[in-house]
Amino acid sequence: MAPKKEKEEDKTAGAARFGRVRNSLKMGIVGLPNVGKSSLFNLLTEQSIAAENYPFCTIDPNESRCAVPDERYEWLCDLWKPPSMYPAYLQVTDIAGLVRGAAEGAGLGNAFLSHISAVDGIFHVVRAFDSEEVIHVDDSVDPIRDLETIQMELCKKDLEFVEKAEEKEIRDVKKSPNMKISLVFTSTFEKVKAMLKENKPVRCGEFNSKEVELIREKLDNLITTKPVVYLVNLSAADFMRKKNKWLAKIHAWIQEHGGGLLIPFSVEWESKLWSLRDDPDGKKAFLDESSGAVSSLPKMVVQGFKELNLIYFFTAGETEVRCWTIQRGTLAPQAAGVIHSDFERGFIKAEVVAYADFRALATSKSMMEVKAAGKYRQEGKSYVVEDGDIIHFQFNVTASAKK
């Protein structure tokens, strides 16, 4: 008989392996001072927070949310035209700028790093434009140096946390004669420390399922396990012509340091577009002169939502069309519980149609054609909700919840 195979590498790829399991997750906007973080936050969330041209303008993190753009949601709203409409939202936090030495307390370092620990994913903003009007904390524009600075500071902070967690575990074990340090603990911590000492983020390491479980349990506050989307802030001219001398170098650096999505954008261009929001003719003229450039903000929001391993299902009817945010892989009863705890407690079944099927088959608000085509399904407790499902839950609660 062949020996049993050891459990293979954890099948969930990248940073999603280490993510917090909950429906309300946040993306934090991170970078050096004066790279465009607060201006981007303003554009994303349509707010007017301070965005002055000097380091540490942002001290306490600003938090808001932005609607996730989705043609499916808009189509359902147009069909039903209900009085209440609720899109999905991405929670976004604007975090003050890091500087070299932040892990040792430089600038407002430790406070900022704790703010990064509190979010679940990172929008890493990098400056790739020259300007005499916008100062750079290091007096020159060099995106690769800036990327190295941020990653080094985050790795240093994580290494400090890992070493403290290891010391605590050793102390706890010494207090109890019946406890001992496991081989998995030792090997995992050594692997993590070795990566961080080389300024490599933990999210890009190769870990088996036991190691992932241990990291989630013992090192749940690591910063470098979080997913990252790299946002490169260009001048309006470079954004419109889709060229910049730094883009290829930034892309190469990202691929050599754990990978991740790169989204070029321009605060300068986006701000001009936003200023014309109430001037249809001016907006059209500006876009006509922009060589086919379109806003990068919707892509940022959608990708940030995906990086947090979030999806949503729809409820749709005469009174409301709504997106309900859940973690990918959520079962039907727990999805029902997002609407109301009674829905989960008294779950009977979920009546489900995929959005694509409803869009292709329905000629009205009725489910008649969908049912006739066999695309209207009844699912039980083991059903894994898919992104874009349109669901009606059946439930029955005859007794009060246990206290």
Could you list the residues known to form a binding site for ATP, using ranges: 34-39, 234
Bridge partners, residue 324, by sequence: 313
- Count, residues in the chain: 403
Does an H or E element contain 121, and which?
strand 121-127
Residues 6+ apart with CB under 8 A from 142: none
* Three-state DSSP class for residue 86: strand
* Tally: H helices and E strands in the chain: 15, 12
Binding residues: 34-39, 234
State the greatest distance between any 2 C-alpha atoms of the chain, in Å, as a whole number.
77
Task: Answer yes or no: are the C-beta atoms of 125 and 31 closer than 8 Å.
Answer: yes
For residue 158, the surrounding DSSP H or E stretch is helix 143-175
Query: How far is residue 71's CA from residue 288's CA, in Å, rounded to a whole number?
Result: 23
Sign (positive/negative) of CA torsion 212, 215, 218, 221? negative
